[in-house]
Amino acid sequence: MASQTRTTLSVLLIPLLLSLLAASAQAGSIAVYWGQNGGEGTLADTCATGNYQYVMLAFLTTFGNGQTPVLNLAGHCDPPSGTCTSLTSDIQSCQSRGIKVILSLGGATGSYQLTSTSDAQSVADYLWNNYLGGNSSSRPLGSAVLDGIDFDIEGGSSDYYGDLANYLSQYSSQGNKVYLTAAPQCPFPDTYVGPALQTGLFDYVWIQFYNNGQCQYSSGDTTNLVNSWNTWTSSIKATNMFLGIPASPSTPGYIPPNDLTSQVLPAIQGSSLYGGIMIWDRYADVQNNYSGQVVGSV
């Protein structure tokens, strides 16, 4: 009788275990950009939602070519007057929840360009001393130590970003790991950050599947998106890749939550590099509760 009971339990448990294993294989995370709209709420509140595992502070809009670096966090604070140091506690609050907080370089507008290997080294040193684990008397975000650097390069030249990635990666030997992430456009290879991605040094790549008709989702048609996803995941070495999507219906490439969970994610979650989704941006997510609608399926 005991043997029969054990057999029955085994039969019942096997499908459950297989289901749990499948769910775990597809489990992904959500990354979000924060910092470009004062109406998106505080950084601490963003992390307290429990929806995100990665938050990119957007953006360091000026750097390289001998320029004084400029941090632009829109209405949240004013770096020249030192008010962004108030974010120290918010950053540490996020990190205490296990959330990686990463500084994003570039953006769609700004003044940035690397002009030489030594310029890349200079920018890497600046980032290490002012935002990562180094020391400086004028850290814009105070004593908080960020987890890494994001390359959202959308203009200028592609030159020397591979060198910048290499120099930044070397700092991982001096303490905590410096995570490297990037946000290329979905046409492969990306015009600006494509060469840097070939270094194989990037941990997470959030591919922007929006504002580009060549490879974004369109009215129930996943073909272009899936083809582009497969090209990226078969061509770039990274720890994980994320599907970058907008949270606002007004942005080209928007995927309705039901379409994302029923059509798009099932088509890409089988990839061994699938890491989840990236959302642009926190403000649009607040307005539309996009992450709240999809977090259980990511």
pLDDT tens by residue, 119-165: 999 999 999 999 999 999 999 999 999 999 999 999 999 999 999 99
**Residue of 40, 152, 154, 203 with catalytic role:** 154
CA proximity to 53, closest of 101, 113, 3, 123: 101
Looking at residue 121, what is its pLDDT?
98
Q: Report the share of the chain in percent with pLDDT over 70.
A: 91
Is residue 22 classed exposed, middle or buried when 0-12, 13-18 and 19+ CB atoms within 10 A define those classes? exposed
Can you give the pLDDT at residue 176? 85
Cα distances (Å, whole numbers) of residue 290 to 7, 257, 285: 44, 7, 5
pTM to 2 decimals? 0.91
The tens digit of pLDDT for each residue in 78-98 reads 999 999 999 999 999 999 999
Measured from the Cβ of residue 81, the count of other Cβ atoms closer than 10 Å reads 8
Helices (H), the chain: 2-26, 43-48, 88-96, 117-130, 161-170, 194-197, 223-235, 257-259, 265-268, 282-288, 290-294
Share of the chain above pLDDT 90, in %: 89
**Exposed, middle or buried, 9 (CB in 10 Å: 0-12/13-18/19+)?**
exposed
pLDDT tens per residue across span 153-209: 999 999 999 999 999 999 998 878 999 999 999 999 999 999 999 999 999 999 999
Distance, in Å, from the CA atom of 277 to the CA atom of 243, rounded to the nearest integer, reads 5
Q: Can you read off the two tokens belonging to residue 290?
A: 């996009």
CB of 5 closer than 8 Å to CB of 250: no
Confidence of residue 19 (pLDDT cuts 50, 70, 90): very low
Please tell me the predicted confidence (pLDDT) of residue 24: 44
The region that residue 106 occupies, defined by phi over 0 for left and psi between -120 and 50 for alpha, beta otherwise, is left
Six token digits for residue 285: 């997510």
Q: Is residue 1 scored above 60 in pLDDT?
A: no
pLDDT of residue 282: 98
pLDDT band at 4 (very low <50, low <70, confident <90, very high): low
With 0-12 CB in 10 A as exposed, 13-18 as middle and 19+ as buried, what is 270? exposed
Q: Are 84 and 71 in contact (CB under 8 A)?
A: yes
Whether residue 26 is predicted with pLDDT greater than 70 in this model: the reply is no
What does the pLDDT look like over 55-64, one tens digit per residue?
999 999 999 9
What's the confidence (pLDDT) of residue 94? Answer: 98
In degrees and rounded to multiples of 5, residue 167 shows phi and psi of -65, -40
DSSP 8-state assignment for residue 262: I
Two structure tokens written together for 216: 């974004």
Phi, psi of 60 (to 5 degrees): -85, 100
User: Has 154 been annotated as catalytic?
Assistant: yes
**Domain locations in the chain as residue ranges:** 28-294
Nearest residue to 74 via CA among 248, 247, 254, 282: 282
Predicted confidence band of residue 12 (pLDDT cuts 50, 70, 90): very low
55 pairs with which residues across the strands?
32, 101
Q: Are strands 240-246 and 274-280 parallel, antiparallel or unpaired?
A: parallel
Q: Identify the CATH class of 28-294.
A: alpha beta
Strand 240-246 and strand 204-208: the pairing is parallel
Q: Which amino acid is at 231?
A: T
Q: Which amino acid is located at 87 in the chain?
A: L
Distance, in Å, from the CA atom of 88 to the CA atom of 52, rounded to the nearest integer, reads 19
Q: Is the pLDDT of residue 13 over 90?
A: no
